[in-house]
Amino acid sequence: MTAWTTLKRRVIGQPLASRDEDQQLLPKRLALPVFASDPLSSVAYASEEAMLVLALAGVGALSLLTPISIAIAVLLAIVVISYQQTIRAYPGGGGAFIVALENLGVGPGVVAAAALLTDYVLTVAVSAAAGVAAITSAYPALLEWRVELALACVVVLTIANLRGTKESSRLFALPTYAFVATVFTMLIVGFIKCSDGVCPTAASAGIPLEPELGGVTLFLILRAFASGSTALTGVEAIANGVQAFREPKSRNAAATLGVMGAISISMFLGISTLARLFDVRISESTADQYGTVISQIGRVAFEGGAGFWILQVFTAGILILAANTAYQDFPRLSAILSRHRFMPRQFRNRGDRLVFSNGILALALLAGLLLVAFDAQVSKLIQLYVIGVFASFTLSQTGMVRHWLKTRERAWRRSVVINLVGAVTTGVVLVIVAVVKFAHGAWIVLVAIPLLVAWMMAMRRHYRRVALHLSRVRASAARRNHRLILLAAHTDSATERAMRYAALVDPESITVVHAVEPEESDDLVHTWSRLYPQHPLVLLEPDRDPIVRRIRKYIRHERDAHPDARITVVLAERFRTRSLRSLFSHPHSLILKALLLFEPGVAVTDLTVVKRRRRPASAQAAITRHVIVLTVSEVTRPTLEALDYARQLHPDELSCVHIDVDEQQRERVEAAWRASGPELELEIIESPYRDITRPLVRYVRRRRWDEPPGTLVNVLLPEFIVPGRIAQLLHNQTGLVIKGALAAEPDVAVTSVPFHLAAAEQVDPTSVS
């Protein structure tokens, strides 16, 4: 076990097997704090946001807080009921994206997804900044470390979520429930204090609020309504994460959403009501002096005692934990988008703890960049907030209206009315928020979402084009000549084994190439002519080009001179130890192998000799037998062409293996393998921890141990190469990891058989929209 693996397991825990996935599903009591931390935390400042807007028109305008809060509560109830219907109609999860995609089309679906992803990133950044703001307000000396503290919060949340959904839910359940219990206690105590008809007043009661506007206008009321609508942020989280619930998933998710809605509405209306009863007043200029609205209410209700400080602690905690909702939904939505080819395929991979680790890390990175860019200031970040969530609300509600009109299920007329009201209302709020906050930074989100949509659509076109060419099996072609180029640096045991391998595969021609300075070549040429007189050494004359470039130019020349031939380049290497570190002791060959992967028509075989301290390299038996292990991830054109190539190498035995990391993929591959017609049996290697490399390495080692001495196990890796180095990153780099793991395995060779998409398109161009 490497040091990295040991550290990783100490930080995030032991890997969980795929069969344990059901044990990671959440009961309702744990799902509530996981998915509801964002909407529950929103009520801590939603009333305050509305009051800050109303205060612009003076004290008298604060009387509008009650009707505005009731309107927001009604809207929140409509959205909750609508998403309960969404959960029942789409139990597979995906929320606004799936609803918009299936009912409104690809464009609206991608817009909804882009809006949600943007909002999730902002949720993490705002939550971390808000939590740190609560800490620095109590300890001003920490203010200069604001960014570092916010980044530390992101790191802690990231590690907690990498440990798995169930473990993170247990970790965050206590502070979430404690916040809810403390707020309800505050509300009960506050209303009891008003039960005799006389209410105590807040410290800010009676202070004058000079109006900055001429009076109350419709636009001001709408702006206050839009600001208070932050209470709705995070409501869609449960609809996106239905698959995280225990069975029956949709019923448990809908019930949890109902409980969350009831708690949020009760807390929001209670805080707004007590704010009016206690005559709480707040403006931008008085907030620092008198504190937030919830803190002023808490100070009156608990009379500044221990209950007040408990409220402050749990309020700061819930503000930070609000980011956990985004940590649950961003990775899941990214995985769904990846399955629909709108995001890189790496986002669908589950990590050691059965979570979508790449999505979690991407979210943390993006949120961290925002915190650094905006200096972790809530006042700057909040201007970008809410637009994404209301855009997804509007599209989701509109999509559900279309859904009911198409399906006309039972009580569809009532459902249409509910969703139509929600669509119109959230649409109005979206427009108001966009207009009001545009000049304050919202324009960044309004620009970012279309750019993200364009990127996702380009991603989809790329993956569809690749899938088309990989699935198109070419007609049987005439057998191609096989030419082998062996790169020799020394006349040592590695080169000797490479020459034996070349003889076993029996190509039409063998060319041995050496590129080095002339003064270093005289002895090599003399020794070579005595050992291998039948294969003269080809020397690449030195020039201004480095060695790697000279070799690459020669290989290109040979390929172009023999366009109908298949070229195999064999590199013979020696390693002192069986470790990844030894890879970097051969920089020239490492660079050359990476470059040759992008050369059409060239396969690369990497032979290895392990030179141990207590056993000389010559102790390895001479190669007399050659078996091939062909890895099959999907039954595509690259795989079938690699199979043809494997047969051309004249192996003594040929095995085809598939690593079972996903049951659905395995069933698809087995069916496609039977349909494609190879007479060979496809061996299935189980991988309970979803890892490809380690099960394959164990399989190769067992094959090597079971074979007689002198057997070389050649692992063939079909790899498809897309035009552009950046585009190549959109595909899993599994081949690179496998080559690194097998690089120093004794009696093992690794052959990369690339399939170049650009070359396939030149032969058979097809446009994919």
User: Look-up: residue for tokens 């809810």?
Assistant: 180
Pairing state of beta strands 711-721 and 748-756? Answer: parallel
What's the half-sphere exposure (Cβ side, CA atoms, 13 Å) at 504?
23
* pLDDT for residue 475: 47
And the tokens for 388? 């994404």
- Segment 656-711, tens digit of pLDDT: 999 999 888 999 999 999 888 777 899 999 999 888 999 999 999 999 999 999 99
Q: Residue 759 pLDDT more than 70?
A: no
And the tokens for 1? 């076990």
- pLDDT band per the 50, 70, 90 thresholds, residue 520: low
Classify each residue of 213-242 as buried b or exposed e, where b means 16 or more C-beta atoms within 10 Å of its C-beta. eeebeeebbbbbbbbbbbbbbbbbbbbbbb
What is the rounded average pLDDT of the residues 587-609?
85
What's the half-sphere exposure (Cβ side, CA atoms, 13 Å) at 8?
12
For the chain, the residue count is: 769
Dihedral of the CA atoms 130, 131, 132, 135 (nearest 10)? 120
And the tokens for 599? 């050369």
- Report DSSP state, residue 653: E
- The phi, psi pair for 658, rounded to 5°, reads -130, 130
What is the rounded average pLDDT of the residues 727-737?
75
And the tokens for 175? 């502070």
- pLDDT band per the 50, 70, 90 thresholds, residue 741: confident
Cα–Cα dist 182/44, whole Å:
12
Classify each residue of 52-72 as buried b or exposed e, where b means 16 or more C-beta atoms within 10 Å of its C-beta. bbbbbbbbebbebbeebbeeb
* Cβ-contact 511, 538 below 8 angstroms: yes
Cα–Cα dist 329/35, whole Å:
8
* pLDDT for residue 577: 56
And the tokens for 320? 């930070």
What is the rounded average pLDDT of the residues 70-78?
91
- The phi, psi pair for 668, rounded to 5°, reads -65, -40
**In this prediction, what percent of the chain has a pLDDT beyond 70?**
92
| 3-class SS of residue 39 | helix
Cα–Cα dist 580/742, whole Å:
9
Facing residues of 354 across strands?
none
Q: Which one of 27-41, 448-462, 664-678 scores highest in mean pLDDT?
A: 448-462
* Cβ-contact 600, 522 below 8 angstroms: no
Nearest alpha carbon to residue 717 among 751, 688, 690:
751
* Cβ-contact 95, 240 below 8 angstroms: yes
* DSSP output for 533-581: TTSPEEE----SS-HHHHHHHHHHHHHHH-TTEEEEEEEEEEESSSSGG
Nearest alpha carbon to residue 679 among 648, 656, 706, 712:
656
And the tokens for 75? 């809207």
- The phi, psi pair for 512, rounded to 5°, reads -105, 125
And the tokens for 32? 């509530």
- Segment 320-340, tens digit of pLDDT: 888 888 998 899 999 999 999
Q: Residue 761 pLDDT more than 80?
A: no
Pairing state of beta strands 602-610 and 748-756? Answer: antiparallel
Q: Residue 755 belongs to what H/E stretch?
A: strand 748-756
User: CA–CA distance from 305 to each of 196, 276, 302, 312 (Å)?
Assistant: 22, 22, 6, 11
* pLDDT for residue 763: 46
* pLDDT for residue 711: 93
User: Look-up: residue for tokens 């008085």?
Assistant: 286
- Amino acid identity of 174? L
* Cβ-contact 470, 637 below 8 angstroms: yes
Cα–Cα dist 598/495, whole Å:
25
- pLDDT band per the 50, 70, 90 thresholds, residue 135: confident
| Other CB atoms within 10 Å distance of the CB of residue 458 | 12
Beta strand segments in 57-160, E: none
And the tokens for 28? 């309702």
More confident residue, 296 or 522: 296
* Cβ-contact 101, 109 below 8 angstroms: yes
* Cβ-contact 385, 126 below 8 angstroms: yes
* Cβ-contact 158, 353 below 8 angstroms: no
Q: Residue 202 pLDDT more than 50?
A: yes
| Other CB atoms within 10 Å distance of the CB of residue 139 | 9
Cα–Cα dist 483/563, whole Å:
11
Facing residues of 675 across strands?
none
732 class by beta-carbon count within 10 Å (0-12 exposed, 13-18 middle, 19+ buried): middle
Average predicted confidence (pLDDT) for the chain: 86
- Segment 42-56, tens digit of pLDDT: 888 889 889 988 998
Nearest alpha carbon to residue 472 among 143, 757, 150:
757
More confident residue, 112 or 379: 112
| Other CB atoms within 10 Å distance of the CB of residue 92 | 10
- pLDDT band per the 50, 70, 90 thresholds, residue 138: low
Residues 6+ away with beta carbon under 8 Å from 421: 78
- Longest Cα pair distance anywhere in the chain, in angstroms? 111
* pLDDT for residue 732: 65
* pLDDT for residue 558: 92
| 3-class SS of residue 69 | helix
Q: Residue 155 pLDDT more than 70?
A: yes
Facing residues of 659 across strands?
685
* pLDDT for residue 284: 79
User: CA–CA distance from 323 to each of 199, 287, 329, 393, 398 (Å)?
Assistant: 36, 24, 10, 19, 27
* pLDDT for residue 721: 85
Crossing angle of the two packed helices 146-162 and 106-138, in degrees rounded to 10? 120
* Cβ-contact 275, 65 below 8 angstroms: yes
And the tokens for 116? 């949600």
* Cβ-contact 392, 116 below 8 angstroms: yes
* pLDDT for residue 612: 56
Cα–Cα dist 50/328, whole Å:
28
- The phi, psi pair for 240, rounded to 5°, reads -80, -25
Dihedral of the CA atoms 538, 543, 545, 549 (nearest 10)? -10
* DSSP output for 481-509: EEEEEEE-SSSSHHHHHHHHHHHHH--SE
Q: Residue 764 pLDDT more than 50?
A: no
And the tokens for 578? 């069986």
What is the rounded average pLDDT of the residues 348-369?
92
Model's pTM, two decimal places?
Answer: 0.85
Q: Residue 617 pLDDT more than 50?
A: no
- Report DSSP state, residue 768: -
User: Look-up: residue for tokens 């000049």?
Assistant: 439
* pLDDT for residue 673: 92
Cα–Cα dist 486/501, whole Å:
10
* DSSP output for 675-729: HH--SS-EEEEE-TT--SHHHHHHHHHHHHHHSPTTEEEEEEEEEEE-SSHHHHT
What's the half-sphere exposure (Cβ side, CA atoms, 13 Å) at 381?
28
Q: Residue 473 pLDDT more than 70?
A: no
Q: How far apart are the first and last CA of the chain?
A: 47
